[in-house]
């Protein structure tokens, strides 16, 4: 039986997670999904109980399970805490201890929400791409770093872009494996024209590609990639890139699709004994204190994060596709949480009734 650790967290985290549990229950009851679920505290909620945002026992559990599903952490109540006690430290610690080096950010534009994008409808409608960002190395971690003084007593800011072959290799493998489950295309982005780390990146990705001949590989300079993402994003399927470029390109791609309440993510690590990658799934959004406790939170980002878990951790492709298509149908019928309302268009629904609508669609596909 597969296992899942649920960490609802703070603010709207627990509110959207309740809805995800209803979706999970539907799959257990109607599609024979076998999932051993445990739930624990993280972030501010863990700090309130244990005085730390991530208890050792919770970390131990996270290291044991097939996948972690996290809601959101943080909130104004915790803003004045020491840096190491802040709820967000739990996220960084989980990513580091699980060694989640591949951050997967899909940018999927549901037809019904195409008018939310700042780009023209025909450019984004039906968009379905994934950005794989290297998450644990590169310029955010490279040494030397800091602000120093030059010989002439001028301040100089230093960061170092540094990638080893093995770091590039493992994230390239993640991207190719992902492409196998999609349309089989990978575009690797770097700046090999001006950066040696980019030259090595391109070489290593091409070497790894020899073991994935069924996948079509292309290379692009990251600045051109940014331009192409807004010019014609549908030309891509999987994009693999480093930590810095991935940070920028994934935010740019996310905004092609509209609301924060719609964006899931996954962070994957090395393959475990079970043959599955270590994994943590989470919506891109935060704890949204401004709407907490008002039944206004859009649960779809978290539900789509579970759909990614079905796809990448549990090999339940059919069920993942079913869930995605039911969400699409609900949106096409015009049901909208407040963040998705545009003028008078659509029928306003609460967090729970959005899930009701998705479950109604799923019910059409009972076994």
Site of interaction with ligand NAD (CB under 6 A): 12, 72-75, 88, 91, 260-261, 282, 285-291, 297-298, 301, 339
The SS3 assignment for 321 reads: helix
- State phi, psi for 32 to the nearest 5 degrees: 65, 20
Between 75 and 269, name the residue whose CB sits nearer to ligand NAD: 75
Active site residue 223: yes
Sign of CA dihedral 268, 93, 50, 45: negative
Q: Is 363 a residue of the active site?
A: no
Q: How far is the CB of 238 from ligand NAD (least distance, A)?
A: 23
Q: Catalytic residue among 48, 223, 290, 363, which?
A: 223
* 251 flagged as catalytic: yes
Residue number with CB closer to ligand NAD (205 or 300): 300
Q: 66, 237, 242, 247: which is the annotated catalytic residue?
A: 247
Judged by beta carbon, residue 79 or residue 151, the one nearer ligand NAD is 79
8-state DSSP, 113? G
10 and 285 in contact (C-beta within 8 Å)?
no
Q: How far is the CB of 262 from ligand NAD (least distance, A)?
A: 8
- Please, which residue, 42 or 189, has the CB nearer to ligand NAD? 42
Active-site residue, 247 included: yes
**Cβ-count burial of 152 within 10 angstroms (0-12 exposed, 13-18 middle, 19+ buried)?**
exposed
Comparing C-alpha atoms, which of 106, 286, 262 is closest to residue 179? Answer: 106
Asked whether the beta carbons of 165 and 134 are under 8 A apart, the reply is: no
Shortest distance, CB of residue 79 to ligand NAD, whole angstroms?
7
Place of tokens 């009701």: 356
CB of 77 to ligand NAD, least distance (A): 9
**Residue from 77, 99, 128, 140 carrying the catalytic annotation:** 140
Is 191 one of the catalytic residues? Answer: yes
Q: Token pair of 184, please?
A: 């089989």
Q: Which residues are catalytic?
A: 140, 191, 223, 247, 251
């Amino acid at each position: 039986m597969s296992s899942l650790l649920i960490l609802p967290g703070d603010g709207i985290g627990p509110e959207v997670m309740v809805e995800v549990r209803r979706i999970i229950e539907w799959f257990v009851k109607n599609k024979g999904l076998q999932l051993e679920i445990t739930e624990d505290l993280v972030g501010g909620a863990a700090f309130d109980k244990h005085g730390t945002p991530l208890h050792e026992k919770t970390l131990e559990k996270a290291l044991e399970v097939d996948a972690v599903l996290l809601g959101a952490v943080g909130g104004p109540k915790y803003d004045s805490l020491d840096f190491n006690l802040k709820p967000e430290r739990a996220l960084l610690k989980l990513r580091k201890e699980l060694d989640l080096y591949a951050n997967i950010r899909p940018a999927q534009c549901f037809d019904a929400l195409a008018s939310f994008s700042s780009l023209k409808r025909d450019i984004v409608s039906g968009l379905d791409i994934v950005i794989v960002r290297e998450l644990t190395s590169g310029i955010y971690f490279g040494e030397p770093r800091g602000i120093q003084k030059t010989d002439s007593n001028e301040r100089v800011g230093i960061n170092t872009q540094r990638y080893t072959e093995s770091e590039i290799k493992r994230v390239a493998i993640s991207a190719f494996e992902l492409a196998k489950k999609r349309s089989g295309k990978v575009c690797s982005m770097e700046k090999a024209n001006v950066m040696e780390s980019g030259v090595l990146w391109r070489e290593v990705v091409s070497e790894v590609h020899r073991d994935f001949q069924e996948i079509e590989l292309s290379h692009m300079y990251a600045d051109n990639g940014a331009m192409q993402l807004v010019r014609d994003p549908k030309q891509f399927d999987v994009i693999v890139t480093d930590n810095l470029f991935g940070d920028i390109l994934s935010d740019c791609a996310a905004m092609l699709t509209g609301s924060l309440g719609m964006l899931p993510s996954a962070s994957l690590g090395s393959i475990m004994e079970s043959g599955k990658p270590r994994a943590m799934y989470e919506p891109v959004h935060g704890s949204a204190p401004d709407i907490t406790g008002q039944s206004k939170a859009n649960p779809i980002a978290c539900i789509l994060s579970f759909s990614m878990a079905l796809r990448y951790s549990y090999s339940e492709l059919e069920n993942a596709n079913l869930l995605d298509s039911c969400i699409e149908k609900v949106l096409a019928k015009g049901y909208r949480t407040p963040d998705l309302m545009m003028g008078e268009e659509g029928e306003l629904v609460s967090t729970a009734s959005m899930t009701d609508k998705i479950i109604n669609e799923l019910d059409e596909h009972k076994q």
